Amino acid sequence: MQGKISRTMLTAGLILWSVVAASGDGAAQVVRAGPPTCKAIALTFDMCPVREGSGYDAPLIAALIEQRIPATFFLSGRWMATHDAEVRALLAVPFFEVGTHGQVHAHLPMLDEAKQRAEISGPVEVLRTRYGYATALFRPPYGEFNDATVDAVRALELRFILWNALSGDPDPRLSTEQMLAHLTSTVRNGSVIVFHANGKGHHTREVVEDLYRELVVKRDLKPVTVTELLDGCEQEPRR
């Protein structure tokens, strides 16, 4: 079962990589990773809306703060509407940064460009007007997008952030050991790793803590925010 699941996760990652590459990263400004010579990684956490539960993985957030691990959170508008205190708590941590994740976590390619722009711009405006926070980062729900999505993101002057390392934490069939094995074999210089911090991730805190020890202590990969990964990373000289 472990081999089958690992192959499934790897196949999904390769499909996503192909879709992003086909979009033409340079023109589209679709970001899946930082520079390959950058000895750093970005831990990212999606905050999708939830129907049940608290919608906030408090033990995970506490662990990140206690160990001072930089992280980037992508908040949906619907999630923010029911988590005001949690939004303010995330914004108060100096080594966290916040991006957006659509208003209602819609399948964007199913919408026309005007509706996509409204779906994308809503949470950006909420962060600006309610919290005084100007974000420059956007991640599409489900990692889905089309040309209209790219055009809308560009018009709003946002950075389009995907990932190149899947944690698999929404899948209840995956164990901590399976997720960790997959990540340690796929994460490399400049990787952007996707997790969930809305309470729907399985074993997320344990995987993050084990991954931190594996990558930072053993492989000397520094955790940074997405913006730091893209703009301020100290890179290794090319050989």
> Confidence class of residue 9 from pLDDT cuts 50, 70 and 90?
very low
DSSP string, 99-156: EE--SS---GGGS-HHHHHHHHHHHHHHHHHHH-----EE--GGG---HHHHHHHHHT
Q: Cβ(188)–Cβ(15) under 8 Å?
A: no
Q: Give residue-wise pLDDT tens across range 79-113.
A: 999 999 999 999 999 999 999 999 999 999 999 99
Largest CA distance in the chain: 51
Classify each residue of 28-43 as buried b or exposed e, where b means 16 or more C-beta atoms within 10 Å of its C-beta: bebbbbbeeebebbbb
Q: Cβ(41)–Cβ(190) under 8 Å?
A: yes
What is the pairing mode between strands 159-161 and 30-31? parallel
Q: Give residue-wise pLDDT tens across range 16-53.
A: 333 333 333 433 489 999 999 999 999 999 999 988 88
Partnered with residue 161 across adjacent β-strands are: 31
In the chain, where the domains are located: 2-231
Mention the CATH class of domain 2-231: alpha beta
